[in-house]
Amino acid sequence: MTSRRAVLKSGRIWCSGPCCSRGSAPKSGRTSHRIGGMSRVTGAGGRPPGSGGIANPFSALRPPMSFDALAPYYRWMEMMLAGGALHRCRTAFLDEIPRPERILLLGEGHGRSLVEFCRRFPAAQITCVDASEPMLTQARRHLARQHLPAHQVEFIRADVLDWTPPPGGYDLVATHFFLDCFRPGQLERMTPKIAASLQPRGIWLIADFQAPTGGWRGLRSRLILGLLYVFFRRVTRLPARTLTPPDSLVAQTGLALQRRITIEWGLLHSDWWQKPVA
Q: Which residues bind ligand SAM (CB under 6 A)?
A: 65, 67, 90, 107-109, 112-113, 130-132, 135, 159-161, 176-178, 181
End-to-end CA distance of the chain: 29
Burial of 229 (0-12, 13-18, 19+ CB in 10 A): middle
Is the Cβ of residue 49 or residue 216 nearer to ligand SAM in the bound state? 49
Least separation in angstroms between CB 216 and ligand SAM: 26
How many whole angstroms separate alpha carbon 34 and alpha carbon 150? 27
Identity of the amino acid at 14: W
Cβ proximity to ligand SAM, 34 vs 201, nearer residue = 34
CA atoms of 242 and 240, how far apart (whole Å): 6
Distance of closest approach, residue 127 Cβ to ligand SAM, in angstroms: 12
Please state the closest distance from residue 274 (CB atom) to ligand SAM, in A: 21
Could you tell me if 219 and 277 are in contact, meaning their C-beta atoms sit under 8 angstroms apart? no
Closest approach, Cβ 117 to ligand SAM, in A, equals: 12
Helix (H, G, I), strand (E, B) or coil at 125: strand
Nearest approach, Cβ of residue 159 and ligand SAM (Å): 4
Q: Measured from the CB atom, is 73 or 254 closer to ligand SAM?
A: 73
CB of 110 to ligand SAM, least distance (A): 6
Determine the residue type at 100.
Answer: P
Choose between 63 and 214: whose C-beta lies nearer to ligand SAM: 63
Helix residue ranges, H only, the chain: 74-82, 85-91, 112-120, 133-145, 184-196, 215-236, 247-252
Q: How far apart are CA 193 and CA 236, in angstroms?
A: 25
Q: Point out the residue whose Cβ comes nearest to ligand SAM.
A: 109
Question: Which one-letter amino acid corresponds to residue 130?
Answer: D
Identify which of residues 16 and 213 has a Cβ nearer to ligand SAM in the complex: 16
Q: Name the residue nearer to ligand SAM (CB basis): 93 or 276.
A: 93
d(CA 156, CA 175): 15
Backbone φ and ψ for 175, nearest 5 degrees, come out as -125, 90
Minimum CB distance to ligand SAM, residue 158 (Å): 6
Report in angstroms how near the CB of residue 142 gets to ligand SAM at its nearest. 11
Q: Which residue lies nearer to ligand SAM by CB, 97 or 105?
A: 105
For residues 53 and 118, what is the distance between their CA atoms, to the nearest angstrom? 41
Q: For residue 242, which of 262, 261, 222 has the smallest C-alpha distance? A: 222
Give the nearer residue to ligand SAM in terms of CB position, either 221 or 256.
221
